């Protein structure tokens, strides 16, 4: 049930995962001002593997256990996949033509982290000395792209929290840790182009941390839906699961492999899946 204490705990946990995780990545980006494709690739695929394990072995079984029915859960998962795909497609269609290296020969998915969150689009506007409006719009697009990842990530925490009766169970804590880990390379990809464009390091890190705020909004949405009743909980768990499945299979894993041409990202994802299995069932 909604109480001040339960909401504060939820906000605190998701703030650490979203704002602190992304902000830490921003700080690392400011200090290093570079990223390693190999490191980021393996980190993303490992986090993707754990997310896959938590979604398939914990969240979806919980959704089925609400009594809403398997077809309702399938519909919710499908809705999560479709909504996130369509929104990502709309953003890509309107921004990719402005980025010179994204042409007909480019893979039909992001092959670097700056493409995934569209910081490359913002960097193009900085390089062209765009006016304040164009920079604002490019920044808004990047924030929206990040939000499409962070909102469903937060929903998984909020829905898991609701399914456990407003108590931060192991699944929600594991999700928060993994999401925080996943947000570190994203934060690096946000801060580096901002600093390269002339922004001060302090301001860039603060803005980067702020991009994690949608995680808390997603957690509140997931928790609110989960509190409505069995069907609300099933929809929240299913929709968030579908969104995360799309992010893992449609973005994280293809991008990880394209960033580091090796079989290691696949093994890293498998290790992540096994770690998720271990954490869930110990």
Q: What is the pLDDT of residues 42-54, one digit of tens each?
A: 888 888 898 898 8
Length of the chain: 282
| Percent of the chain at pLDDT exceeding 90 | 24
Distance CA 226, CA 229 (A): 6
Asked if residue 178 has pLDDT above 70, the reply is yes
pLDDT value of residue 169 = 66
pLDDT value of residue 166 = 66
pLDDT value of residue 51 = 83
Mean pLDDT, the chain, integer: 85
pLDDT value of residue 266 = 93
Confidence grade of residue 25 (pLDDT, cut at 50, 70, 90) = confident
| Percent of the chain at pLDDT exceeding 70 | 95
Q: How many CB atoms lie within 10 A of CB 96?
A: 17
Q: What is the mean pLDDT of residues 140-158?
A: 85
Distance CA 113, CA 192 (A): 11
pLDDT value of residue 225 = 86
pLDDT value of residue 121 = 85
Distance CA 89, CA 246 (A): 12
pLDDT value of residue 167 = 67
Confidence grade of residue 85 (pLDDT, cut at 50, 70, 90) = very high
Asked if residue 2 has pLDDT above 90, the reply is no
Confidence grade of residue 241 (pLDDT, cut at 50, 70, 90) = very high
Asked if residue 265 has pLDDT above 90, the reply is yes
Among the listed residues 87, 86, 56, the one whose alpha carbon sits nearest the alpha carbon of residue 240: 56
Q: What is the pLDDT of residues 189-225, one digit of tens each?
A: 778 777 776 778 898 899 889 989 999 999 999 888 8
pLDDT value of residue 170 = 66
pLDDT value of residue 168 = 65
Lowest mean pLDDT among 243-252, 254-263, 272-281: 272-281
Asked if residue 1 has pLDDT above 60, the reply is no
Confidence grade of residue 34 (pLDDT, cut at 50, 70, 90) = low
- Residue for token pair 């999560």: 80
Lowest mean pLDDT among 14-23, 90-99, 151-160, 178-187: 178-187
How far lies 184's CA from each of 52, 115, 179, 214, 256, in Å?
Answer: 19, 16, 9, 15, 15
Per-residue three-class SS string for 90-138? HHHHHHHHHCCCCCCCCCCCCCCHHHHCCHHHHHHHHHCCCCHHHHHHH
């Amino acid at each position: 049930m909604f109480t001040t204490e339960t909401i504060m705990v939820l906000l605190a946990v998701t703030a650490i995962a979203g704002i602190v995780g992304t902000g830490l990545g921003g700080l690392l980006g400011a200090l290093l001002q570079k990223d390693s494709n190999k490191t980021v690739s393996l980190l993303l695929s490992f986090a993707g593997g754990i997310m896959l394990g938590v979604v398939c072995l914990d969240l979806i079984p919980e959704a089925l256990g609400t009594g809403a029915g398997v077809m309702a859960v399938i519909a919710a998962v499908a809705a999560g996949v479709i909504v996130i795909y369509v929104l990502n497609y709309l953003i890509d269609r309107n921004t990719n033509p402005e980025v010179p290296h994204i042409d007909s020969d480019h893979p039909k998915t992001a092959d670097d982290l700056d493409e995934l969150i569209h910081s490359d689009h913002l960097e193009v506007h900085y390089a062209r000395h765009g006016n304040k409006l164009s920079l604002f719009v490019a920044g808004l697009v990047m924030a929206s792209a990040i939000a499409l990842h962070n909102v469903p990530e937060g929903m998984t925490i909020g829905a898991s929290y609701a399914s456990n009766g407003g108590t931060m169970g192991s699944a929600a804590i594991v999700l928060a840790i993994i999401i925080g880990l996943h947000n570190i390379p994203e934060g690096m990809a946000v801060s580096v182009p901002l600093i390269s464009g002339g922004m001060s390091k302090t301001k860039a890190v603060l803005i980067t941390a702020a991009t994690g705020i949608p995680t808390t909004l997603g957690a509140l949405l997931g928790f609110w839906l989960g509190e409505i009743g069995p069907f609300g909980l099933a929809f929240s768990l299913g929709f968030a699961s579908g969104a995360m499945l799309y992010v893992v299979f449609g973005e994280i894993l293809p991008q990880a492999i394209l960033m580091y041409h090796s079989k290691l990202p696949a093994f890293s994802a498998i290790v992540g899946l096994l770690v998720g299995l271990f954490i869930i069932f110990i």
